[in-house]
């Protein structure tokens, strides 16, 4: 089988550069083109020094020129939707790791893929350990009435709470069939002391230099607590999940939300 041709958006970003590096190492995929709003040249040198790929500020000309199979996007919610619409219109399957997509945008992506008859993947987190963390949290959620999530990221992360934290809270509530109970705060000595609350789960966000991406789920009941934690130490940890999604999406129809389906965890949960 020929390698899967991939176009990468946001090529000047750290995650996108990591994706290009991973594509260069895997013989089953091929970096075909890149998009960057800061592009000054017509070609981008691949990070492993193996050659050049077309580079543009505009996605549509690249889609027509290189005819990729998959688009990988780790940019921002606004541009992601623009890129996804263009990609699907050309039969290119989107693999999206952008944080901060709202339910209405997910629904639009589902409709786009359904109408085009192609696959797509949207995941709040591509770290396989984080996906397992969320799976374990769903299992534990059935046995606890109280839960809180602490998510910790580097100071440059643009959104809060993180998409992973929100997705985890929603998945936990879905697993138990109802929202969690929230311990009442009788006196608030500063605004929003309990953080954002999603499905009865308070979400606390830390943004500090020295952090990468970390999440801890704390569940409590009488006389005990359960903590489930995942720590991301480098962006390299996301690449096995990204490659898994790229290879899986070409053989699927419709939008897959979350990597748990690709890992066989959804049914097991």
113 and 184 fall within a common domain: no
Is pLDDT above 60 for 268? no
201: β partners = 198
The pLDDT score that the predictor gives to residue 158 is 84
The CATH number that applies at residue 44 is 3.40.50.720
10 and 91 fall within a common domain: yes
Q: Which member of 5, 67, 157, 247 is catalytic?
A: 157
Please give the average per-residue pLDDT across 192-220, as a whole number. 95
60 and 25 fall within a common domain: yes
The pLDDT score that the predictor gives to residue 133 is 96
Q: Sign of the C-alpha dihedral, residues 48, 240, 167, 253?
A: positive
Q: In this structure, what DSSP letter does residue 12 have?
A: T
| Residue 38 pLDDT grade (very low, low, confident, very high; cuts 50, 70, 90) | confident
The pLDDT score that the predictor gives to residue 191 is 86
- How many C-beta atoms lie closer than 10 Å to residue 222's C-beta? 5
Clarify whether 187 is annotated catalytic.
Answer: no
The pLDDT score that the predictor gives to residue 192 is 85
- How many C-beta atoms lie closer than 10 Å to residue 74's C-beta? 23
Please give the average per-residue pLDDT across 221-242, as a whole number. 96
The pLDDT score that the predictor gives to residue 266 is 67
114 and 243 fall within a common domain: yes
43 and 54 fall within a common domain: yes
Helix residue ranges, H only, the chain: 14-25, 59-66, 77-89, 103-116, 128-141, 163-176, 239-249, 260-263, 265-268
- Measured CA to CA, the distance from residue 214 to residue 256 in angstroms comes to 24
139 and 219 fall within a common domain: yes
Give the HSE-up count for residue 19: Cα atoms under 13 Å, Cβ half-sphere. 34
17 and 81 fall within a common domain: yes
Is pLDDT above 70 for 269? no
216: β partners = 150, 229
Is pLDDT above 60 for 267? no
Q: What are the counts of helices (DSSP H) followed by strands (DSSP E) for the chain?
A: 9, 13
Please give the average per-residue pLDDT across 63-79, as a whole number. 95
- Mean pLDDT, the chain, rounded, equals 94
Domain span at 206:
128-232
- Measured CA to CA, the distance from residue 116 to residue 88 in angstroms comes to 7
Clarify whether 153 is annotated catalytic.
Answer: yes
26 and 113 fall within a common domain: yes
Q: Which member of 135, 153, 214, 230 is catalytic?
A: 153
In tens, the pLDDT along 128-174 reads 999 999 999 999 999 999 999 999 999 999 889 998 899 899 999 99
- Measured CA to CA, the distance from residue 58 to residue 33 in angstroms comes to 11
CA-based nearest residue to 237, from 127, 95, 83: 127
**Number of structural domains found in the chain:** 2
159 and 258 fall within a common domain: no
Could you tell me which residue, 265 or 244, shows the higher pLDDT? 244
Please give the average per-residue pLDDT across 22-37, as a whole number. 96
The CATH number that applies at residue 208 is 3.30.360.10
- Measured CA to CA, the distance from residue 261 to residue 265 in angstroms comes to 6
């Amino acid at each position: 089988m020929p390698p899967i041709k991939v176009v990468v958006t946001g090529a000047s970003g750290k995650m996108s550069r990591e994706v290009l590096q991973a594509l260069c190492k895997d013989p089953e995929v091929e970096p075909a083109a890149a998009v960057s709003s800061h592009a000054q040249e017509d070609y981008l040198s691949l990070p492993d020094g193996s050659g050049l790929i077309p580079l543009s500020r505009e996605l549509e000309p690249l889609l027509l020129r290189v005819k990729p199979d998959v688009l990988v996007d780790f940019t921002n919610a606004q541009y992601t939707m623009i890129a996804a619409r263009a990609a699907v219109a050309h039969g290119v399957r989107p693999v999206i790791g952008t944080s901060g997509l709202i339910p209405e945008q997910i629904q639009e992506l589902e409709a786009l893929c359904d109408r085009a008859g192609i696959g797509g993947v949207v995941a709040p987190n591509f770290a396989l350990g984080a996906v397992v963390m969320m799976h374990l949290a769903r299992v534990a959620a059935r046995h606890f009435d109280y839960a809180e999530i602490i998510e910790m990221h580097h100071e440059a992360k643009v959104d809060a709470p993180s998409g992973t934290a929100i997705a985890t809270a929603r998945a936990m509530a879905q697993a138990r069939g109802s929202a969690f109970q929230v311990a009442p705060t009788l006196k608030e000595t500063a605004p929003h002391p309990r953080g954002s609350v999603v499905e009865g789960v308070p979400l606390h966000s830390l943004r500090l230099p020295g952090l990468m991406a970390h999440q801890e789920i704390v569940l409590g009941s009488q006389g005990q607590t359960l903590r489930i934690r995942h720590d991301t130490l480098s962006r390299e940890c996301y690449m096995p999940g990204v490659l898994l999604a790229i290879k899986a999406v070409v053989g699927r129809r419709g939008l897959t939300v979350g990597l748990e389906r690709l890992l066989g965890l959804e049914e097991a949960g």
